[in-house]
Structure 1
Amino acid sequence: MASTEPAAEPGAGGSEAPDRPSDEAILQQQNQIRAEQAKVSEYVGQEENLDALKAEYENGNQNFVQKISKLGERYRTFRRTRGDGNCFFRGFIYAYLEGLLQSQDLVEANRFMSVVQSWKGKLVEGGFQELVFEDAMELLLEQVKEVTRASTDQFSQEKLLVNMRDDTVSNMIVMFLRLVTSCEVQRREDFFFPFILGMYDEPPATVELFCQRHVEPMGEESDHLHIVAVTEALQIPVRVVYLDSSGLPSGGGDGSGGGGGLEASCHGFVPDSCPPGTVPRVHLLYRPGHYDILYAKST
């Protein structure tokens, strides 16, 4: 039996283009895809040879291939972090804790714990409820205590990896770092507001609103501003290697890395409190939208 429902009116030419999805719908779809991809990866992966990274681009972007080849002159391996929007904070703190574990630098560990503890009062003063962050802060301090007790209780790198793969431990520490970053940005509003103005066509009206939207929520991606704020807040120097497609392939563009090759740009985030010549304690690799951990060769 033929339908008695009225037919939809066709558009010009007998068809009508579907409405364009809203920006919010597109963002939601991207977040869903990213969340699905994240489920199959650990928060922090195993250390891998840079050849594994280069292999991802061998049939694609040759600029990336050549830049990764050049990276091999200064870096020996890398470690993946989950692409869930928290990769910068997770990679940053894992690499720092791992460095403390390997160096057993008790002076640095004590300095860091003092700085973290000093943020309790600053956060409360900044309007953050102690109930929200105190357990997360203690979890971070406990990780530092454990890695610096390695010589007496056999704390291993594997145990640090297990801890930072744990949903509760890993995410609470990331949350705490986000709150510290937010508080630092708001405490230095005059310094950071120009950054915010340059980041968006329609920037949030206030620094506080920016932090509520783009710093504090879990899963919000990090950029230059976040790195400046957290490195200053915790006084930890960081170097970020930026891997992008800029430049023209050299050596005939065959991706072999011959003829010198292209070199990824680097940026050092050194807190004002650090003396001249300070070397980075954390090395991160940035690919568009994502951060992984880099391991420098011994000098």
Structure 2
Amino acid sequence: MYSRRAGAVVWNLSFSHPLNDWEVGDFASLLTLLESVVVTESVRDRRVWASNSSGRFYVKAYLEEANPGGIVAFPTQLEPLSALAAEYQSGSRLARKNKGLFLCVSVHVLGEEYAAIRRTRGDGNCFFRSFMFSYLEHILDSQDKAEVDRITAHVEQCKKTLQSLGYADFTFEDFFALFLEQLESVLQGSGNSISHDELVTRSRDQSTTDYVVMFFRFVTSGEIRRRSEFFEPFIMGLTNSTVEQFCKSAVEPMGEESDHVHIIALSDALGVPIRVLYLDRSSCDTGGVSVNHHDFIPASGDPHNAAGGSSDTINPIITLLYRPGHYDILYPK
């Protein structure tokens, strides 16, 4: 971690690996770029990602300290995709001065199928927070009581899984109870039902959302441990650790970023299909962009996952946008 003060702003920088001597020049160029960034409400508490021209290393930088009113809320208000385009247009001007330092993105490709984005704070929990809000919003909009009954049954099964793995009830029961309360609150007709505005407000309450994030983390960890033979090759491809070590160090602790292993496990455990769109840097040199997506469909043929099926027959109810190290929520047209 490297901190760089530019005026009243502190940028925190972290690296994929220690820099080699020949990489220091590119790093110096990045620092020059950071000092030239005008800090506005649109960039506060947002990460800036860069790589050198060969792609051998990357840097992530984010504002550590700024006007508290400018910090990105857990879910922001809905924004048109043009806001994302404007963000990258600024980056493109900088990229012309330092080729390869900034991600080249043309957001109009997304605009063909998607209308809006809702951002989440980049605190390492963005995948789980995005999943939480998007799923609860889906239930609030659809009022799908059958889906609530279905996922409630899965939650109970997840609780039994943790118990069978040796987890004491007191380590997770409060997190499970709070998620079920949130789930009940988005169904109209109950005494504690809430509006969409109240859902947004509640999702910005850190004490509440942290508990729900921990619920998802325990569910994810339990699923990975339950199917350790399935997940072990994926985990070995990410890190040289056992399944148990991975769950203890990269799944259960708050603030640990999520990868495809986390998404597969959560989707399978709760039976919720998820679509993730990836912005691909492979065409940066030509100034174009390709947007790839992957549908995470709950495992078929598993009695734990009654929603299992192929991607041809199941439409994901949650759509997330992935940029290196961060997830936001996308809204189809």
Where on the TM-score scale, by shorter chain, does this alignment land: which range?
0.7 to 0.9
Aligned counterpart in structure 2 of residue 188 of structure 1, from 227, 231, 254:
227
TM-superposed CA distance for 1:151, in Å, is 8.5
Instruction: Give the number of the structure whose residues are more often helix, by fraction.
Output: 1
**Equivalents in 2 of 1:25, 1:191: separation in Å?**
33
Q: Following TM superposition, where does structure 1 have runs of at least 4 consecutive aligned residues deviating by more than 4 angstroms? A: 21-26, 30-39, 61-64, 150-154
TM-superposed CA distance for 1:158, in Å, is 0.9
Structure 1 pair 107–244 and aligned structure 2 pair: CA distance change class (3 A): same
State the partner residue of 1:90.
129
TM-superposed CA distance for 1:72, in Å, is 0.5
| Pair 1:243 & 2:279 matched | yes
Q: Percent identity?
A: 45
State the partner residue of 1:162.
201
Alpha-carbon contact 1:38-1:83 (below 8 Å) kept: no
State the partner residue of 2:41.
none
State the partner residue of 1:176.
215
**Equivalents in 1 of 2:224, 2:203: separation in Å?**
26
Instruction: Give the aligned CA root-mean-square deviation in angstroms.
Output: 2.8
State the partner residue of 2:153.
114
TM-superposed CA distance for 1:37, in Å, is 7.3
Structure 1 pair 105–127 and aligned structure 2 pair: CA distance change class (3 A): same
**Equivalents in 1 of 2:272, 2:62: separation in Å?**
33
Amino acid at match of 2:245: L
Aligned counterpart in structure 1 of residue 299 of structure 2, from 269, 272, 283:
272
User: Secondary structure of the residue that 2:329 maps to in structure 1?
Assistant: strand
State the partner residue of 2:77.
46
Q: When the two structures are superposed, what TM-score results if normalisation uses the length of structure 1?
A: 0.80
**Equivalents in 1 of 2:66, 2:124: separation in Å?**
12
TM-superposition CA deviations, 1:163-193 (whole Å, max 9, x none): 1111121000101110111111111111111
Amino acid at match of 2:128: F
State the partner residue of 1:137.
176
State the partner residue of 2:247.
211
**Equivalents in 2 of 1:247, 1:32: separation in Å?**
23
Larger relative contact order, structure 1 or 2 (CA cutoff 8 Å, min sep 6): 1
Larger Rg, first or second structure (1 or 2): 1
Q: When the two structures are superposed, what TM-score results if normalisation uses the length of structure 2?
A: 0.72
TM-superposed CA distance for 1:65, in Å, is 3.2
Structure 1 pair 275–46 and aligned structure 2 pair: CA distance change class (3 A): same
Alpha-carbon contact 2:105-2:279 (below 8 Å) kept: no
TM-superposition CA deviations, 1:196-248 (whole Å, max 9, x none): 11113xx11x2101110111100000011100010001010000000132214
TM-superposed CA distance for 1:34, in Å, is 6.7
State the partner residue of 1:15.
none
TM-superposition CA deviations, 1:131-190 (whole Å, max 9, x none): 121111111111111111268876211111111111121000101110111111111111
**Equivalents in 2 of 1:239, 1:233: separation in Å?**
16
User: Secondary structure of the residue that 1:56 maps to in structure 2?
Assistant: helix
Amino acid at match of 1:155: I
Structure 1 pair 189–207 and aligned structure 2 pair: CA distance change class (3 A): same
Amino acid at match of 1:270: I
TM-superposition CA deviations, 1:1-39 (whole Å, max 9, x none): xxxxxxxxxxxxxxxxxxxx999999xxx9996765796
**Equivalents in 2 of 1:272, 1:197: separation in Å?**
21
Instruction: Give the number of the structure whose residues are more often strand, by fraction.
Output: 2
**Equivalents in 2 of 1:134, 1:163: separation in Å?**
20
TM-superposition CA deviations, 1:89-120 (whole Å, max 9, x none): 11011101101110111111110111112222
Amino acid at match of 1:156: S
Alignment of 1:143-154 (within 5 A): 143-149=182-188
Deviates more, 1:30-39 or 1:54-63: 30-39
